[in-house]
Amino acid sequence: MPGDRIVQVVWFKRDLRIHDHQPLHQAAADGPVLPVFAIEPAQWQTPDSALRHWQFAAECLVDLAEALAGLGLPLCCWQGSMLALLEALKTRYGHFVLHSHQETGNAWSHARDDAVAAWCQTNAVSWHQARQHGVIRGLTQRQQWETQWETLMAAATSPAPPRADPADGWENFHHVSLTALTALSLGHDQTPCPQRQPGGRQAGRALWRSFVQHRGRRYRGSLSNPLLAWEYGSRLSPHLAWGTLSLREVVQSLRRQRQKHPNDPRWSASLKAFTSRLYWHCHFIQKLESQPDMEYRTLHPALRGLRERDPQHPRLLAWQQGQTGVPLVDACMRSLSATGWLNFRMRAMLISFATFGLGLHWREPALHLARLFTDYEPGIHYPQIQMQSGATGTNALRVYNPLKQAEDNDPNGDFIAHWVPELTALPLDWRRKPWALPTSLRQHFGFQPGRDYPLPHDFEPEARHWKDCLYQLRRTPQARQQSQVLLGKLASQSATKGRRRSSRRSVSSRQLTLFVDSTHAEED
């Protein structure tokens, strides 16, 4: 109607906060605000969706609704497709403006956003999409990427608006009450996660406080050990994935913290290492943004078609159930299933074992892990999966030997004992490889390999086979040319230099052993 201010719709996605939320800030300045979260059934039925993601998100939404109420705004939880919501908004308001953050999601969300963009264009609705990460849309090469990341992270955060006017008629768009959110049945994977991290900004802030006040001092040196990383890692990942904390506010807070400990080398080293991870967060998401088919297609053309996908492969099922017969692998899978979290090194080992040690295609294992990670972030997940399974064809091949990983990162066997109780009674050496328990001792320990715990697949020759195979395929002139194209598109300048260094290292280590256990796991 003439004279009326245009309704400003704020579409919350994976940015469930009011602080440093530029779309909300802008909308509140421009007119009456309608904050909405769309619960799209089709999205929750994709094969990478799971109950734990929804429950975490639902807790974040309850927290967000409370924060919005403090500004005088409702949170509308719409159940239905985004296109149906847009039609309903058009019917109710005639004209409106749409605000959101840019999202680098899975193929489903990518296609949905394309459809929303087309709808907005057809209906002359402006859709303002702000950046929340250091990811650049439409980027063709990585020069200057690092500089722009710094600029974005150094820019002032958007304060939450003190008050905002709610749009009339918001009740029409609110389908699901906050109390019903968590129990909503959306048809996703139902694996329970009894020890999942709680969602919501308050939980995220509490984690951050404890990290910078005391836990973070031991960050460096704890990352590879699954028990220590649980305690001394930041554990912020689901909060960054669902945006209860903005990456920029964490980066800025971190920089203030670094100034507080100038003379404590342990704090300095830890906070420096942590800063790199925040940079990698966007560096990896940029890869999926630039190459969205990384989600479902082997990145390097020379390595495609090597293995068949088989969702019923017995070795895949055993791996998914934590029943491979390799104790550290099974402990990791069972722990991940129950808690929704695992440290970087053990994630890398799980996918490396599935693809090299068990000879599986990476795609089914990737989907399984996506469903188990509460912090599932497609832009980190798929590039990491491809890298750790050797599918990028450009990174040094890292094949993690679970026996060596157990020696290095579970030195007392406590992690295995906790998650694989069948092995608790065995002395340390055999707890790591129970199949080797001498026949003479089996009766003494009341343990029969194959009866009390599965016998493993012969994973060392299998891994050697795949590793050799990948090296051969990468070596042809055509494959080398394809590698250069991929590097030009997806590697940052500094990452490329690092890669060259690590390639030289890997040549010499290859001469020593074919089953290299890389110590450079966290480089790109």
Ligand X SMILES: Cc1cc2nc3c(=O)[nH]c(=O)nc-3n(C[C@H](O)[C@H](O)[C@H](O)COP(=O)(O)OP(=O)(O)OC[C@H]3O[C@@H](n4cnc5c(N)ncnc54)[C@H](O)[C@@H]3O)c2cc1C
For ligand X, the binding residues (CB under 6 A) are: 233-237, 240-241, 277-278, 280-281, 284, 343-344, 347-348, 351, 373, 375-377, 380-381, 384-385, 388, 522
* Cβ distance to ligand X smaller for residue 37 or 344: 344
* Cβ distance to ligand X smaller for residue 32 or 216: 216
Residue 284: closest CA among 491, 503, 96, 75: 491
Dihedral in degrees, nearest 10, Cα atoms 356, 360, 365, 366: 70
Q: At residue 100, what are phi and psi to the nearest 5 degrees?
A: -160, 175
- Residue 229 Cβ vs ligand X, minimum distance, rounded to whole Å: 7
* Cβ distance to ligand X smaller for residue 173 or 353: 353
* Cβ distance to ligand X smaller for residue 31 or 498: 498
Q: State the Cα–Cα distance between residues 500 and 483, nearest whole angstrom.
A: 13
Strand partners, 37: 12, 77
- Residue 115 Cβ vs ligand X, minimum distance, rounded to whole Å: 25
Helix, strand, or coil (residue 373): coil
- Residue 219 Cβ vs ligand X, minimum distance, rounded to whole Å: 7
- Residue 170 Cβ vs ligand X, minimum distance, rounded to whole Å: 33
Q: Extract long-range pairs of 253-257: CB within 8 Å, 24+ residues apart.
A: 253/208, 253/212, 254/212, 254/278, 257/212, 257/216
* Cβ distance to ligand X smaller for residue 383 or 434: 383
- Residue 342 Cβ vs ligand X, minimum distance, rounded to whole Å: 7
* Cβ distance to ligand X smaller for residue 210 or 472: 210
* Cβ distance to ligand X smaller for residue 277 or 489: 277
Q: State the Cα–Cα distance between residues 287 and 495, nearest whole angstrom.
A: 12
- Residue 237 Cβ vs ligand X, minimum distance, rounded to whole Å: 3
Question: If DSSP states are collapsed to H, E and C, what string results for 74-142?
Answer: CCEEEECCHHHHHHHHHHHHCCEEEEEECCCCCHHHHHHHHHHHHHHHHCCCCEEEECCCCCCCCCCCC
Q: How far is CA 323 from CA 240, 399, 419, 426, in A?
A: 32, 20, 12, 18
- Residue 277 Cβ vs ligand X, minimum distance, rounded to whole Å: 3
DSSP assignment of 166-190: BPTTGGGG--S-GGGTTT---S-B-
Q: State the Cα–Cα distance between residues 337 and 350, nearest whole angstrom.
A: 13
* Cβ distance to ligand X smaller for residue 99 or 188: 188
- Residue 448 Cβ vs ligand X, minimum distance, rounded to whole Å: 34
Instruction: Tell me how long the chain is.
Output: 524
What tokens appear for 516 in the block?
């290299």
